[in-house]
A and B are shown apart, each in its own frame.
Chain A
Amino acid sequence: ILNVEQSPQSLHVQEGDSTNFTCSFPSSNFYALHWYRWETAKSPEALFVMTLNGDEKKKGRISATLNTKEGYSYLYIKGSQPEDSATYLCAFIGGAQKLVFGQGTRLTINP
């Protein structure tokens, strides 16, 4: 069983603060790492697709880094806004092309 772990499981942050959370995954047979944003009553939507060690991606106030050698990725949100409240999922693709998700980090932004 592929072990994809996210921490923390939930996070409460004040509006305007910056935050980050972690995804750890197997360091062997790496193919890709995805980050998704999942709002309540909707379907997950992709934020980033990362394929190379050292990748850094950015979209507005959200950015992500990737370390495939040690098996972790960080997602950063700068200057949190209430609309950032959601569950953030990471997903690992290994040699078998399975897309395996972590359990998610539920982020709540307090106004």
Chain B
Amino acid sequence: DAGITQSPRHKVTETGTPVTLRCHQTENHRYMYWYRQDPGHGLRLIHYSYGVKDTDKGEVSDGYSVSRSKTEDFLLTLESATSSQTSVYFCAISEAPAEAFFGQGTRLTVV
């Protein structure tokens, strides 16, 4: 299995609080991605990174920020969580155009 781990795996947080999700890889892959999974939408890209300190927005980036200060870590931050951000979040890594490998997912509930 590819060395990619997400933390935490589950989190419940209150509306308006900041939340940070971590994606850690041991594969030294260049590309890292954050997606959210919602019923009827498949996987929607939030942000992605193509190198240390190099990031770009995806299709649903509003309300999210990311940082990548080291090759192995890609952080997703919800500055002020809202109920619409309740979702399952997946991190993925790749050496494009090769296949992507996914983390186990983080289930986030905003109450």
| A positions within 8 Å CB-CB of B | 1-2, 6, 31-32, 34, 36, 43-46, 49, 51, 87, 89, 91, 93, 96-104
- How many angstroms from the CA of A49 to the CA of B41 in the assembled complex? 22
A91 touches B100 (CB 8 A): yes
A99 touches B45 (CB 8 A): yes
Question: What's the nearest-Cβ distance from chain A to residue B27, in Å?
Answer: 14
Please, which residues of chain B bring their CB within 8 A of the CB of A43? 90, 102-105
Task: Knowing A43-B105, A46-B99 are in contact, say whether A97-B31 is a contact too (CB < 8 A).
Answer: yes
**Could you write out 26 A-B pairs with CB less than 8 Å apart?**
A1-B59, A31-B96, A32-B96, A34-B100, A36-B100, A43-B102, A43-B103, A43-B104, A44-B43, A45-B102, A46-B99, A46-B101, A49-B97, A51-B97, A91-B100, A93-B97, A97-B31, A98-B48, A99-B45, A99-B96, A100-B59, A101-B42, A101-B43, A101-B44, A101-B45, A103-B41
Q: DSSP class of A's interface residues: helix, strand, loop or mixed?
A: strand
- Across the interface, name the chain B residue whose C-beta is closest to A45: B102
- Across the interface, name the chain B residue whose C-beta is closest to A101: B43
- How many angstroms from the CA of A95 to the CA of B105 in the assembled complex? 27
B33 touches A99 (CB 8 A): yes
Q: How many residues of B contact A (CB 8 A)?
A: 27
Please, which residues of chain B bring their CB within 8 A of the CB of A2? 59
Question: What's the nearest-Cβ distance from chain A to residue B84, in Å?
Answer: 18
| B positions within 8 Å CB-CB of A | 31, 33, 35, 40-45, 48, 50, 56, 58-59, 90, 92, 94, 96-105
- Across the interface, name the chain B residue whose C-beta is closest to A105: B42
Please, which residues of chain A bring their CB within 8 A of the CB of B58? 98, 100
B56 touches A96 (CB 8 A): yes
- How many angstroms from the CA of A108 to the CA of B78 in the assembled complex? 35
- How many angstroms from the CA of A96 to the CA of B41 in the assembled complex? 22
- Across the interface, name the chain B residue whose C-beta is closest to A32: B97
Please, which residues of chain B bring their CB within 8 A of the CB of A101? 35, 42-45
CB contact between A97 and one of B35, B41, B96, B101 (< 8 Å): that residue: B96
